[in-house]
Amino acid sequence: MSANLLPLLWEATLQTLYMVAASTILGTAVGLPLGVFLATSQRGELLSAPWLNKVLGLLVNATRSVPFIILVVAIIPLTRAIVGTSIGTNAAIVPLTLAAIPFIARLVENAIREVDAGLIEAARAMGATPLQIIRKVLIREARPGIALGLTLAVVSLIGYSAMVGAVGGEGLGDLGIRYGYQRFMPEVMAAVVVILIVLVQLVQSVGEWIAARFDKRAPRNRGR
């Protein structure tokens, strides 16, 4: 590999990190509250709103069933309206975020539903408001699960971010396609794959470490 490709690889890596970080942050900002709401709004639950729960659930499922590459193309008008262009890293963040929101919401919902119902009852018995229960009990107790869920989401977003390369986004995927595939430079393709593998490994390890830090349930001691 010639030395002038290294800056290219470095730049593409930074672009990928930027896209993934931005869409994770934005996706979590919407997906976390959405997931909490989905987990607490069925009939008889804390924020009981069965109809809204159903509608949002359908919306989440609908978004999740659209293949990502189609989502990217389908929302080009929206992307233009928000970013002003449909090409480049900033434009790629829009579909990435839109894909991240329902994914993160479902992962958060699952993590919250894992929390022992007895804790909700105890908090209600203390006179806690629904919001206090969500903040001080549900989200806090679900932190290990949420951390693992976000790890999964980031790993998926790394993969998706490579896909937006194919439609004018930048980053590692774009580099791999343009140099590795179209210019027949297998060494670039190999470098891109190695960097992606390293990134995913890093994210997974960090995510698991954070989840373990949050998890105070002794693994040998979960009698019930």
Partner 1 sequence: MTGNTIAGAAISFSGVGKAFDGPGGARVSALQDVTLVIEPGAICGIIGRSGAGKSTLLRMVNGLERPTSGTVAVAGLDVGRAQGAELRAIRREVGMIFQHFNLLSSRTVAGNIALPLEIAGTPPDQVRARVADLIARVGLDGLAGRYPAELSGGQKQRVGIARALATQPRVLLSDEATSALDPETTQTVLRLLADINRDLGLTILLITHEMAVLRDIASHMAVIEGGRIVESGPIYDIFTRPTHPTTRSFLGGVTGLTLPGFIAGRLLDHRPEGPSEEVVRVTFAGNHATDPMLSKLAVERGIASNILAGAIEEVGPHPFGNLLISVDAARGPEARAYLEQHGLLTEVLGYVR
Query: How far, CA to CA in Å, does 114 sit from each of 36, 138, 190, 223?
Result: 12, 9, 40, 16
Measured distance CA(149)–CA(126) in Å, rounded: 30
- Rounded least distance, CB 27 to partner 1, Å: 24
Per-residue contact string for residues 132-161; x = within reach of partner 1 by CB under 8 A: x---xx--xx-x------------------
Any contact of residue 217 with partner 1 (CB under 8 A)? yes
- Rounded least distance, CB 216 to partner 1, Å: 4
| Residue 143 contacts residue 217 (beta carbons within 8 Å) | no
* 3-state DSSP assignment of residue 93: helix
Measured distance CA(190)–CA(165) in Å, rounded: 16
Among 124, 168, 204, 208, which residue sits at the site for partner 1 (rule: CB under 8 A)? 124
| Residue 134 contacts residue 36 (beta carbons within 8 Å) | yes
Residue 114 has phi, psi (to 5 degrees) of: -75, -20
Among 4, 118, 182, 183, which residue sits at the site for partner 1 (rule: CB under 8 A)? 118
Per-residue contact string for residues 176-215; x = within reach of partner 1 by CB under 8 A: --------------------------------------x-
| Residue 16 contacts residue 199 (beta carbons within 8 Å) | yes
Any contact of residue 128 with partner 1 (CB under 8 A)? yes
Q: Tell me which residues touch partner 1 (CB under 8 A).
A: 116, 118-119, 121-129, 132, 136-137, 140-141, 143, 214, 216-218, 221, 224
